[in-house]
């Protein structure tokens, strides 16, 4: 069986014509694999900065891996126990994801305006997260961003979002994204002062990602649907539905809604001042 290879932070790669081997070095470790066994190679590099019309943003690497998605409130000794978990967060199920990159922060108003030429947000500020955007608005923004950059940015799947929020393969099992103490990592109802805040001003999570709990809800690509119990690889959600997934909580919601496993959703054509987005690639 041929392999789809993902190489994180690889510093050198070569193909030997005689031996027909791919050879690469990652740190001090040298790897070899026959060319015939490889369909494709994807490089996931270190943090990459993109600039659009003078506005820069960073994308961070997320190594692929397997994790337990969801939460349950019935068995304190079971996987992903959370006393606040509701039925929409279970069953806990295994998900395997390929590597991807994700925005270090939520999309800012500065970036949205650089791409779209206007700013729909209720709370104004170039370093504040863009909000009052629907899922449909996000698709229009991403299409224009891809035209400007030649890249294929998109919204995260719900599984990618939760994996990154949990800290990927560096996860410490926190309730919120980066901490069990919500005030360390999130702007939410109790500390938000009834408004959004500049991105990246709270503590980052294990992967260096900011604000995956609180500030604004983040649209995901999936249609909202109940979880299944079977293991999945790179799930993309239901084929159709009424609501698109929203994750992370926001400035006007309490701590329970900012948990990494909490699920929400709404009609894709409706935005408000608590909904924004984060890019993946």
Q: Is the pLDDT of residue 82 over 80?
A: yes
CB 157 within 8 A of CB 235: yes
Domains plus CATH for the chain?
3-44 (no CATH), 48-276 (3.90.1580.10)
> What average pLDDT does this structure show over 7-18?
40
- Global pTM reads 0.85
Using alpha carbons, select from 125, 145, 136 the residue that is nearest to residue 251: 125
- d(CA 113, CA 119) in angstroms, rounded, equals 5
Instruction: Check whether 208 has a pLDDT greater than 80.
Output: yes
What is residue 20's predicted lDDT score, i.e. its pLDDT?
59
pLDDT tens digits for range 140-193: 999 999 999 999 999 999 999 999 999 999 999 999 999 999 999 999 999 999
| pLDDT tier, 34 (very low <50, low <70, confident <90, very high otherwise) | low
What is the model's pLDDT at position 85? 98
**Residue 3: what pLDDT?**
43
Residue 87 pLDDT grade (very low, low, confident, very high; cuts 50, 70, 90): very high
Return the closest-CA partner of residue 156 out of 227, 92, 84, 107. Answer: 107
Cα 260 from Cα 106, distance rounded (Å): 16
For residue 42, which phi and psi values (nearest 5 degrees)? -115, 125
With a CB cutoff of 8 Å and minimum separation 6, the contacts of 131 are: 120, 121, 122, 123, 196, 216, 271, 272, 273, 274, 275, 276
Q: Which residue has the tokens 């309730």?
A: 175
The answer to whether residue 38 scores a pLDDT higher than 70 is no
Can you tell me the mean pLDDT for 210-216? 99
pLDDT of 46: 82
* Mean per-residue pLDDT, 101-115: 99
């Amino acid at each position: 069986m041929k392999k789809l290879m993902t190489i994180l932070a690889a510093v050198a790669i070569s193909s030997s014509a005689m031996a027909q081997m791919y050879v690469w070095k990652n740190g001090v470790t040298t790897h070899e694999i026959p060319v015939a066994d490889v369909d494709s190679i994807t490089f996931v590099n270190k943090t990459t900065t993109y600039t659009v019309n003078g506005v820069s943003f960073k994308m961070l690497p997320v190594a692929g891996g397997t994790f337990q998605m969801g939460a349950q409130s019935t068995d304190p000794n079971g996987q992903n126990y959370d006393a606040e978990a509701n039925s929409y967060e279970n069953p806990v199920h295994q998900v395997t994801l390929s590597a991807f990159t994700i925005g270090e922060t939520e999309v800012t108003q500065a970036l949205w305006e650089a791409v779209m030429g206007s700013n729909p947000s209720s709370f104004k500020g170039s370093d504040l997260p863009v909000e009052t955007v629907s899922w449909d608005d996000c698709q229009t923004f991403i299409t224009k961003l891809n035209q400007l950059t030649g890249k294929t940015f998109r919204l995260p799947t719900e599984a990618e979002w939760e994996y990154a929020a949990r800290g990927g393969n560096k996860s410490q099992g926190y309730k919120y994204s980066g901490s069990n103490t919500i005030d360390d990592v999130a702007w939410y109802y109790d500390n938000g002062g009834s408004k959004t805040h500049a991105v990246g001003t709270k503590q980052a999570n294990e992967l260096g990602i900011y604000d995956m709990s609180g500030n604004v809800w983040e649209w995901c690509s999936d249609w909202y649907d109940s979880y299944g119990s079977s293991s999945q690889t790179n799930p993309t959600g239901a084929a159709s539905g009424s609501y698109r997934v929203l994750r992370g909580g926001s400035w006007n919601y309490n701590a329970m809604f900012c948990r990494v496993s909490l699920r929400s959703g709404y009609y894709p054509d409706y935005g408000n001042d608590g909904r924004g987005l984060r890019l993946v690639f």
